[in-house]
Amino acid sequence: MTAVTPAPVPVIDRDLPARGRRRTRAVRGSRPGWFVYAALGAVLLASVFPFYWSLLIGSGDASTVRDPNMSWIPGGNFLANAAAVMGDPAVNFWPALMNSVISSGIIAASVVFFSTLAGWAFAKLTFRGGPWLLLFVVGTMAVPMQLGVVPLYILFSELGWTGQLGAIIVPALTSAFGVFWMTQYLRQAVPDELIEAARVDGATSFRTFLTVGVPAARPAAAMLGLFTFVSAWNNFFWPFIVLDRQNPTLPVALSLLQSNYFVDYSKVLAGVLLSTIPLLVLFVFAGKQLVSGIMQGAVKG
């Protein structure tokens, strides 16, 4: 079998006169100047600042949040507060963490897979009713879902699924948002020529999808997976309604820390920060997928 995808792009390289090629190498190797780093630094400051503020409160005690002269250096209590949260019998931290990891992971994987598949079809395959179906998908995003918990609960209590993780996983297995995103992304990221070439070589539709679509989709798929994981992780209301208190997800479990007339925000925010750590770990993995030149890489390999 021949290599599937010829690269149109490297041809440009070879066409340049020698002098231009040297300049190209110089261009590729250039680093951006101080302005970019300064601007990014400002963005970093604005993004991280409230997070740091949470750390300040979470590392203090119950009165820190009200203290008008709160110090800008973290207090020493963070580990103590975190330990209190993890050990609190009412909070049920570790089972909740496990539930969150399992449900968010399954949801993210499923959404990425089905969205890429459907997005590929909408973006690159022509079939009757395609544009209208895509419009329908986008239209479903426009319906406000604040009332949706009620019929969903009716449905799942009829099925007898209340209290089980399946009740929060199944409704979230696909998302219109994901389908729409992958459609638009694949539209721009995959040149039609590559698909033609694959088809000429006798590849089936699915093989084309696997060899052209999946590698091309990697940056967007990684981001979609990350976003879906985070939103499933932080989701509160539906898991609160449908799961048992004994079998909660992490946000529901941590919300118990707020169930008093007087709330100790140092513990609440310590719990919040704890629940953010797995997400930050995921950041690193997903971020590495934001690689440019995916198509060139796929070709040379």
Partner 1 sequence: MKNRALRRVALVAAVASTSALVLAGCSGGGGSASGGDGPVTLTVATFNDFGYTDALLKEYMDAHPNVKIVHNKAATSNDARANYFQKLGKTGLADIEAIEVDWLPEVMEYADLLAPVPDDLKSRWLDYKVKAATSSEGNLIGYGTDIGPEGVCYRSDLFAAAGLPTDREEVAKMLQGDWSTYFAAGDKYVAATGKPFFDSAGGTYQGAINQVEDAYENPDTGEITATENPEVKKIYDQVLKASATQSAHLGQWSDDWMAGLSNGAFATMLCPGWMLGVIEGNAPEVKGWDIANAFPGGGGNWGGSYLTVPSNGKNVAAAQELADWLTSPDTQIKAFENAGTFPSQTDALKNETLLSNTNAYFNNAPVGQILTDRAEAVKVSPYKGTFYFQINDAMQKALTRVEDGTQDAATSWQQWVTEVDALK
Partner 2 sequence: MTSTLERPTRSAPAPAGARQPRRIGFGQRRSAWDLKFSPYLYISPFFILFAITGLFPIAYTAVISFMDWDLVRNSGHFIGFDQYAWVLSQPKFWVALRNTFSIFLLSSVPQLILAIFIAAMLDQNIRAKTFWRMSVLIPYVMAPVAVALIFSNMFGDQYGVVNTTLQNLGLPAVPWHSDALASHVAIATMVNFRWTGYNTLILLAAMQAIPREFYEAATVDGAGKVRQFFSITLPSLKPTLIFVIITSTIGGLQIFDEPRMYDQYGTGGADNQWLTVTLWLYNIGWGEWNFGRAAALAWILFLIILIIGAMNMLVTRSLVRDEGGRDQRSRRERRAQARAAKQRLAADAARLSTPTKEARR
Residues in 196-215 that interact with partner 1 by CB under 8 A: 207, 210-211, 214-215
Determine if 298 is a binding residue for partner 2 (CB under 8 A): no
Instruction: Indicate which of partner 2, partner 1, none lies near residue 17 (CB less than 5 to 8 Å, by partner kind).
Output: none
Among 13, 20, 42, 63, binds partner 1 (CB under 8 A): 63
Using CB under 8 A as the binding rule, the residues of this chain from 259 to 288 that contact partner 2 are 265, 268-269, 272, 275-276, 279-280, 283-284, 286-288
Determine if 101 is a binding residue for partner 2 (CB under 8 A): no
Determine if 297 is a binding residue for partner 2 (CB under 8 A): no
Report residue 189: phi and psi, to 5°.
-90, -20
Instruction: Indicate which of partner 2, partner 1, none lies near residue 90 (CB less than 5 to 8 Å, by partner kind).
Output: partner 1
Determine if 11 is a binding residue for partner 2 (CB under 8 A): yes
Q: What is the closest distance, in whole angstroms, from the C-beta atom of residue 160 to partner 1 in the complex?
A: 7
Instruction: Indicate which of partner 2, partner 1, none lies near residue 97 (CB less than 5 to 8 Å, by partner kind).
Output: none
Instruction: For residue 108, give the nearest of 199, 188, 228 by alpha carbon.
Output: 228
Amino acid letter, 103: S
Using CB under 8 A as the binding rule, the residues of this chain from 150 to 189 that contact partner 1 are 150, 153-154, 157, 160-166, 169-170
Q: What is the closest distance, in whole angstroms, from the C-beta atom of residue 143 to partner 1 in the complex?
A: 20
Under 8 Å between Cβ of 249 and 243: yes
Using CB under 8 A as the binding rule, the residues of this chain from 136 to 195 that contact partner 2 are 137-148, 150-152, 154-155, 170-171, 173-174, 176-177, 179-181, 183-185, 187-189, 191, 193
Determine if 118 is a binding residue for partner 2 (CB under 8 A): yes
Q: What is the closest distance, in whole angstroms, from the C-beta atom of residue 56 to partner 1 in the complex?
A: 16
Among 24, 245, 285, 287, binds partner 1 (CB under 8 A): 245
Using CB under 8 A as the binding rule, the residues of this chain from 46 to 85 that contact partner 2 are 46-48, 50-51, 53-54, 57, 65, 68
Backbone torsion region of residue 129, taken as left when φ is above 0, otherwise alpha when ψ lies between -120 and 50, otherwise beta: left
The rounded distance, in Å, linking the Cα atoms of 290 and 301 is 18
Contacts of 265 (CB under 8 A, 6+ apart): 57, 62, 64, 65
Determine if 127 is a binding residue for partner 1 (CB under 8 A): no
Q: Is 12 exposed, middle or buried (CB count within 10 Å of its CB: 0-12, 13-18, 19+)?
A: exposed
Determine if 115 is a binding residue for partner 2 (CB under 8 A): yes
The rounded distance, in Å, linking the Cα atoms of 111 and 105 is 10
Instruction: Indicate which of partner 2, partner 1, none lies near residue 278 (CB less than 5 to 8 Å, by partner kind).
Output: none
Binding site for partner 1 (CB under 8 A): 4, 62-63, 66, 68, 89-90, 102, 105-106, 109-110, 112-113, 149-150, 153-154, 157, 160-166, 169-170, 207, 210-211, 214-215, 237, 240-241, 244-247, 252, 255-256, 258-262, 264, 298, 301
